[in-house]
Each structure stands twice: as C-alpha cells, then as structure tokens.
C-alpha cells in the first residue's frame, strides 16, 4: 500500500484496539499545483511488451511467539519464515526487523524505515535459492522510555508494531525489496478482538499473542 506523505492525526490500529482521543494537528499549508503547459503530441512507436525477465521474489510468514514487557523494554519474540517464490536465487539478502509502537507518527516512521538502505542487517547477508525457505527466530525490543503510550480510561497502553524489511538482488543486475509491518496484540481466543498491552503494570510477557498485517511496501 502507498504510505501517506503527512503524519496521521490519530493512531491507526485493527479493530479491538482503542486509543485515547488525540487533537488533530493543524493542516499544512496548501502547495500550489504546477502550471500545465500544452504541447503538441509526438508520434509514439508501439513496441510489443517484452517477456518478463526471471527474478527473485521473497515473501514473509510471521508467527509471534510471545510479547509484552520486561524491566526496561517492550519485547516481541518472533519466528519468521522467508520464502523465495521467484524463478531465480535471491542473493545478498539483507534483513532488518524493528519494534515500534502505534501512535501519531507511525506511518511516517514506517515509511522512512522502508525507504532507507539497510546499513546493519540483523544477520549476515545470505543467498536464498528459488523455491527455498528459511526460518529465523529472535526477540525484537524497544525501550519503554520511547514508546508511544496511550491513556485509555486511566490505563497506560501501547500497541507493538513489528516491521520486517528485506533487500535482495538476483543474477543479471536485478534488485528487489519486500517490506511488511504487523500490529501485535493479546489474543483472548474465541475469534475475539486483539487487546493492547499495559505499560503501567508489572513486567509481563504473554504467550497468547497474534499479528495482523498493517502496511505493505510497494
């Protein structure tokens, strides 16, 4: 999905995660549109579409194992399966995983992460042959001091957002990116809504957690 250019006025989360009301920010000044210049049309040669070149294509499957807080941080323990569904090997796969929290700036932060190069991948860059998958497990953490916290009914709550971003290449000079973000919540079972996490209580990790895909990079 395309990301918004401006900061969102309110946090966005799946059904079942409620936020305290937030006063909207003032609208930015309008930018004048560029003036159009009429030009005579030029003749265009019609060329048949070339056959698509073979390429690598990586997809993710996320399973959150546990989530909550420890003494100093919010944390999400995860298992991620990366699969190359393309026709050729993905080479030099660089993977970045971050834990954020839902808030007014969430879309802008996610957009900036997905637009930036991956300078420090979480693992040594690796190759992934066509049709092959690999499992990666770990723990993503975010300091409590910099979480976006919501006051709902006198309770301090936060909603973890896990981002997964992969850059890769393939033979012939091609390159690609697959990036996803997921909202993590407490799963009460029975097909009910996911619940946010409390930050004002004792540190606690929950085993019954689920993920809902939030945004997808282009």
DSSP secondary structure letters along 59-76? EEEEEEEEEEE-SSEEEE
Integer Cα distance of 183 and 100 in angstroms: 9
Residue 135: the pLDDT is 97
Residue 74: the pLDDT is 96
Which among 178, 42, 163 is positioned nearest to 106, based on CA atoms?
Answer: 163
Residue 152: the pLDDT is 84
Q: Taking a C-beta distance cutoff of 8 angstroms, is the pair 131, 86 a contact?
A: no
Residue 191: the pLDDT is 72
Q: Which domains does the chain have, with CATH numbers?
A: 58-216 (2.60.40.10)
Residue 52: the pLDDT is 53
Residue 177: the pLDDT is 96
Bridge partners of 26, per DSSP, are none
Integer Cα distance of 161 and 182 in angstroms: 6
Residue 106 phi, psi (nearest 5): -60, -45
Which among 218, 1, 22, 8 is positioned nearest to 108, based on CA atoms?
Answer: 8
Residue 30: the pLDDT is 35
Dihedral of alpha carbons 122, 126, 129, 132, sign? negative
Integer Cα distance of 139 and 55 in angstroms: 31
Instruction: Output the six-digit token pair for 90.
Output: 């993905």
DSSP single-letter state for residue 145: G
What pTM was estimated for this model as a whole? 0.75
- Tens-digit pLDDT profile for the chain (218 aa)? 332 332 233 344 444 444 333 333 433 333 333 323 333 334 444 444 434 569 999 999 999 999 999 989 999 999 999 999 999 999 999 999 999 999 888 899 999 999 999 999 999 999 999 999 999 999 999 999 999 998 888 889 999 999 999 999 999 999 999 999 999 999 988 777 899 999 877 889 999 999 999 975 54
Q: What is the per-residue burial (b if ≥16 Cβ within 10 Å, else e) of 187-204?
A: beeeeeebbbbbbeeeee
């Amino acid at each position: 999905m395309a990301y918004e250019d401006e900061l969102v006025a309110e946090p966005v989360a799946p059904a079942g995660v409620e936020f305290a009301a937030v006063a909207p920010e003032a609208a930015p000044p309008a930018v004048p549109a560029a003036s159009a210049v009429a030009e005579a049309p030029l003749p265009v040669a019609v060329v048949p579409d070339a056959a698509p070149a073979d390429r690598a294509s990586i997809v993710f499957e996320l399973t959150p194992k546990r989530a909550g807080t420890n003494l100093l941080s919010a944390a999400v323990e995860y298992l991620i399966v990366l699969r190359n569904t393309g026709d050729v090997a993905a080479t030099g796969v660089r993977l970045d995983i971050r834990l954020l929290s839902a808030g007014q700036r969430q879309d802008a932060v996610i957009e900036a992460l997905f637009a930036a190069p991956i300078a420090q991948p979480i693992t040594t860059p690796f190759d992934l042959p066509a049709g092959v998958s690999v499992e990666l497990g770990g723990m993503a953490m975010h300091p409590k001091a910099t979480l976006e916290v919501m006051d709902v009914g006198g309770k301090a709550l936060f909603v973890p957002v896990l981002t997964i971003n992969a850059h890769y290449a393939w033979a012939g000079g091609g390159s690609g990116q697959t990036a996803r973000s997921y909202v993590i919540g407490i799963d009460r079972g029975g097909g009910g809504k996911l619940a946010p996490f409390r930050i004002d209580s004792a540190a606690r990790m929950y085993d019954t957690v689920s993920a809902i895909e939030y945004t997808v990079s282009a």
